[in-house]
Amino acid sequence: MDELTVVVTGGTRGIGKQAARAFAGEGANVALCGRDADAVEATVADVESTGGDATGLRADVRDEFDVERLMETAARFGGDGIDVVVANAGVYHGTPGRTPLTAESYAAFDDTFRVNCRGVYATIREALPHLADDGRVLVTTGGVGHQSKAGYGSYAVSKAGAEALVRGFSAELDRTVAGVDPGTVATGMTDGEGRDPEDVAGLFVWAATEATEIDGDIVGVKRWRRATSE
């Protein structure tokens, strides 16, 4: 991945942070963002301490102008546009499995959808003017996006919307657009339950570089492990 430029939203913790580290470890120029400026600075320093090249910007994917600045920054950082976009920023208001749609607040529903679905839309839209002809867009999703499960409220709805965006953009663009489902990962949104984020970072690198016939599809851990063990 030498000289490729990768953008990771929600890149200061959990899956996003480990994906940024993994991409940088493979030689990519990584541009990441988060809503906490101090966390952005600390993550960039962490990536650079391991020999990687990174830049960061405090940006909120709910604000398309923030996202526009992020993509412009990323394009300049790499010097030749953007090769990979990982739309990873996400929120979960409440306790996983205990936020039924029948009781969720309108405020929580609106904000979850604004980050997890509209934020993906803004990320892809603002990346397009800078995206390489063979560029790839990866959208972090999860099983609740395509399998009904009680108690996941607006989070599940937003992930279903994000997967619909994958299919929609895939149908309209001549670049690869795919969803990436890492399964349950131990982050703040899962109360620490699940796989270590570092253990699934390679899934994103594989989907960005080696995976074939994934356009418009959702790829997960099983497919990644099968492909990389052959």
pLDDT tens digits along 80-115: 899 999 999 999 999 988 999 999 999 999 999 999
CATH number assigned to the domain comprising residue 29: 3.40.50.720
149, pLDDT greater than 90: no
**In this structure, are residues 171 and 216 in contact, taking their beta carbons and an 8 Å threshold?**
yes
Given the DSSP bridges, would you call strands 176-181 and 29-34 parallel, antiparallel or unpaired?
unpaired
pLDDT at 129: 97
Q: Which of 121-125, 142-146, 206-210, 215-219 is least confident?
A: 142-146
pLDDT the model gives residue 72: 97
Residue 188, pLDDT above cutoff 70: no
CB contact at 8 A, 43 and 23? no
Query: Who wins on pLDDT, 29 or 2?
Result: 29
pLDDT confidence of residue 223: 96
Q: What is the pTM of this model?
A: 0.95
To the nearest 10 degrees (0 to 180), the angle between helices 197-209 and 221-229 is 70
Residue among 17, 89, 84 at smallest CA distance from 52: 17
- Judge contact between 154 and 108, C-beta under 8 A: yes
3-state secondary structure of 57: strand
In which band, very low, low, confident or very high, does the pLDDT at 160 lie, cut at 50, 70 and 90?
very high
pLDDT of 138 over the 70 cut: yes
Q: Is the pLDDT of residue 1 over 90?
A: no
Pairing of β 29-34 and β 131-140:
unpaired
Percent of the chain surpassing pLDDT 70: 97
Asked if residue 18 lies in contact with residue 186, where contact means CB atoms within 8 angstroms, the answer is: no
Confidence of residue 190 (pLDDT cuts 50, 70, 90): low
Look up the domain containing 124 and give its range.
5-229
pLDDT at 79: 79
143 vs 139: which has the higher pLDDT: 139
Question: Mapping DSSP to helix (H, G, I), strand (E, B) and coil, where does residue 84 land?
Answer: strand
Given this model, what pLDDT does residue 131 score?
98
**What's the mean pLDDT when you consider all of the chain?**
94
Cα–Cα distance measured from residue 91 to residue 24, given in angstroms and rounded to the nearest whole number: 25
Our count of domains for the chain comes to: 1
Average pLDDT over residues 161-165: 97
Strand extents, DSSP E, 9-149: 29-34, 53-58, 82-87, 131-140
